[in-house]
Amino acid sequence: MLVATVALVLALGVASRVLADRLQIPSVLFLIFAGIAIGPELLGLVSRETFGGGLSAMVGVSVAIILFEGGYHLQLEKLRESPTALARLVTVGAAITWLGTAAAVVVFLETSLEVGLLVGALLIATGPTVIGPILQVVTVRDHVASVLEGEGVINDVTAAILVVVVFEVLIADNGNSLSFLVNFFGRLFIGLGIGALVAGIVWFALSRGNLAPKTGSLHARLIVLAGIVVAYGGAETIASETGIAAAAMAGFALGNVDLPHHEEVIDFLDDLSVVVLSFIFVALAALIDFEDIFTLGLAGLAIVAAITLVLRPAVIYLSTTDERFTRNERLFLSAVGPRGIIPASVATLFAVELQALGRPQEAQLLAGTVFLIIFATVVLQAGLARQIANTLEVSPMRIIIVGGGRVGLSLAARLEQDGENVLLIDSDPDAVEKARERGLRAVEGDGTDADVLERAGASEAKTVIATTPDDDVNLLVCQLAKTGFDVEKVASRVNQPDNVGAFESLDVRAIDLSMATAWSLENVLERPSLSSWMNELGRTGDVQEIEVTAADLVGKTIAELNADIPDGCIVGLLTHRDGTTEVPTGNHELRSGDRVTFLGQTDAVDGAVKRFHPHD
């Protein structure tokens, strides 16, 4: 019976993942509904008794695998995207979430402070189990993704350890405030230490083990899998709930070293995490007791509102102060903080512990509150993440710039000011570091290498721009972008005028450096005011060219559209489908496929673009 149940759970999990990929909706939404469907509330195929005493161990190892994979992908480059915001989010932000949630639970449910702190500790965690599926279907700028991923991995570790310490010290009454701190940091140190030790052993085994060429990839995967289990099991043997920290630390350490068979290990971890994520989410969702949730009544909804509408936005706005997050990116981060497996699995464990202490009502309150928050945030935040991102317009396609010299650096900075998702590639580590110091996303690598471009996301980029001082390099970058990745818009700096033809033959937008310099000098001399204002773009003004896609505007004249054009913005140019461009008069009529160039104050231009070119 157990084998059949596990097979059913895995089948539903995989089916949910396939459906989610097809519909471009985070898979956790389908996983939680699949679990509820086979649970005691509906079909009754799965219950707490189905797995016997083995569910805790299965969930523990599964969570360790997922956190190892999350840590493996959490590379130092990502953490450099927004280090201050992430540091605030996992320290001050975690503390505010913990204490604020505890206060809401105590006030609305009229329970003890100890139980409130226990629930609050559980709900610190978001986790890669829910953040990963969201980022698979929602494209956001790198600094936004890095904050979500980093918060998920780190706060999962914090929550898993903190909830044990809260229970032992405050509820089981096995210590005082000093022992609380010693217990927390002691467990954290044990977990991180064992994780680092196991990572070192795995690295040594793979780097110095002289693996056979034919079987090296297979052996690497097996060694990594063994490392995950050993890190988790070893830490748990020493102190409970430290295995999560050990697995996350081992993954982080191995993901940031030069590990043999790196790509094969990534593929293996991705496939493995899909399977275990599907299993544990469906299995734990099947254990949701709606009676516990309904017992909370309106107080439960008040807690959901306090966490999602008050605490989460407050934590995000506090953490991202003085960082390069736009207003809409802050709103997106505020709206996307679903809770995942750690709260679900640990809540089930401690509900049983509270019952054993003769506190059944508090056990019911704990399970009901945690599962209500999980259910509400997964359905509303994870399920609607793509729609939220589209509404807030935080999903720009990537622009890749190859060449981190003065031209590439200046261009990247200006495009970032325009809200674009820019990635700069250069083989010179000093150029990369200089770009990062200016707050730009930059990676070290050879832009003429297809593998480097693939990892940079060229297959999904809207534009690739080559800006190196070597025309041969620029031409090769453009060829790869056009033929290897089918990038629609490719542009290049051309250093020698005689080479312009070679670029244009590839349908590359070639910018002759000498002509561009001459044009700029002419502007300075003949049109000084315009030149000065153009050089200030991104501060007070902007120029944007867009295709008119608002169907209700086609067929109207420029004069008729004055009400739709914000004050502080004018239509500078009108480009027709046949390629002819002219300065429009009030009598010019917009036609399908026309392109309009707006010029004016930044906010006004942005408003005009949204009106004439609304998102699909």
* Pairing of the two strands 398-402 and 421-426: parallel
Would you state the pLDDT for residue 344?
Answer: 80
Q: What is the pLDDT of residues 560-600, one digit of tens each?
A: 888 778 888 888 888 887 778 888 888 888 887 788 888 88
Rounded average pLDDT over 237-250: 88
- Residue 401 near residue 55 (C-beta atoms within 8 A): no
Instruction: Please tell me which residue, 478 or 45, carries the higher pLDDT value.
Output: 478
Q: Is the pLDDT of residue 116 over 70?
A: yes
Would you state the pLDDT for residue 554?
Answer: 83
Would you state the pLDDT for residue 512?
Answer: 83
State the virtual CA torsion across 268, 271, 276, 278 in degrees, nearest 10.
170
Q: Is the pLDDT of residue 538 over 60?
A: no
Q: Is the pLDDT of residue 212 over 60?
A: no
- Residue 348 near residue 284 (C-beta atoms within 8 A): yes
588's tokens: 């010019």
CB count in 10 Å sphere of residue 47 = 13
Q: What is the pLDDT of residues 285-323, one digit of tens each?
A: 777 778 888 888 899 999 999 999 999 999 999 998 866
Quickly state the pLDDT bin for 468 (edges 50, 70, 90). Answer: very high
- Residue 147 near residue 135 (C-beta atoms within 8 A): no
CATH fold for the domain made of 539-612? Alpha-Beta Plaits (3.30.70)
Buried b (16+ CB within 10 A) or exposed e, 337-374: bbbbbbbbbbbbbbbebbbeeebeebbbbbbbbbbbbb
Rounded average pLDDT over 165-194: 81
Rounded average pLDDT over 607-612: 83
Question: Structurally, what CATH architecture does the domain formed by 398-517 represent?
Answer: 3-Layer(aba) Sandwich (3.40)
Q: Is the pLDDT of residue 491 over 90?
A: yes
Q: What is the pLDDT of residues 319-356, one digit of tens each?
A: 988 666 888 889 999 999 888 777 887 787 778 778 87
- Residue 158 near residue 93 (C-beta atoms within 8 A): no
Would you state the pLDDT for residue 534?
Answer: 64
Buried b (16+ CB within 10 A) or exposed e, 209-230: eebeeeebbebbbebbbebbbb
| Nearest alpha-carbon partner for 406 in 451, 453, 438, 365 | 438
Q: Is the pLDDT of residue 616 over 50?
A: no
Q: Please report how the helices 360-377 and 298-305 are oriented relative to each other, as an axis angle in degrees rounded to 10.
A: 50
Quickly state the pLDDT bin for 18 (edges 50, 70, 90). Answer: confident
442's tokens: 């930059």
The fraction of the chain above a pLDDT of 90, given in percent, is 21
Q: What is the residue-averaged pLDDT of the chain?
A: 83
Rounded average pLDDT over 379-397: 84
| Nearest alpha-carbon partner for 598 in 567, 571, 574 | 571
Type of residue numbered 603: D
Yes or no: domain 1-197+272-392 corresponds to CATH 1.20.1530.20: yes
Buried b (16+ CB within 10 A) or exposed e, 75-98: eebbbebbeebbebbbeebbebbb
Rounded average pLDDT over 143-172: 85
DSSP code of 613?
Answer: S
DSSP code of 551?
Answer: G
DSSP code of 310?
Answer: I
Quickly state the pLDDT bin for 103 (edges 50, 70, 90). Answer: very high
Instruction: Please tell me which residue, 278 or 370, carries the higher pLDDT value.
Output: 370
Rounded average pLDDT over 403-411: 89
Would you state the pLDDT for residue 52?
Answer: 67
Instruction: Give the 3-state DSSP-derived string for 23-79, with helices as H, strands as E and coil as C.
Output: HCCCHHHHHHHHHHHHCCCCCCCCCCCCCHHHHHHHHHHHHHHHHHHHHHHCCHHHH
> What is the full DSSP assignment across 139-162?
---HHHHHHHHHHHHHHHHHHHHH
Q: What is the pLDDT of residues 34-48, one digit of tens each?
A: 888 888 778 877 776
Quickly state the pLDDT bin for 98 (edges 50, 70, 90). Answer: very high
For residue 568, is it left (φ>0), alpha (ψ between -120 and 50) or beta? left
| Nearest alpha-carbon partner for 89 in 422, 81, 398 | 81
Rounded average pLDDT over 206-221: 70
Domain assignments of the chain as residue spans, ordered by start: 1-197+272-392, 398-517, 539-612
| Nearest alpha-carbon partner for 82 in 125, 163, 140 | 140
Would you state the pLDDT for residue 459?
Answer: 84
pTM above 0.75, yes or no: no
Rounded average pLDDT over 497-520: 83
5's tokens: 């149940």
Rounded average pLDDT over 252-260: 86
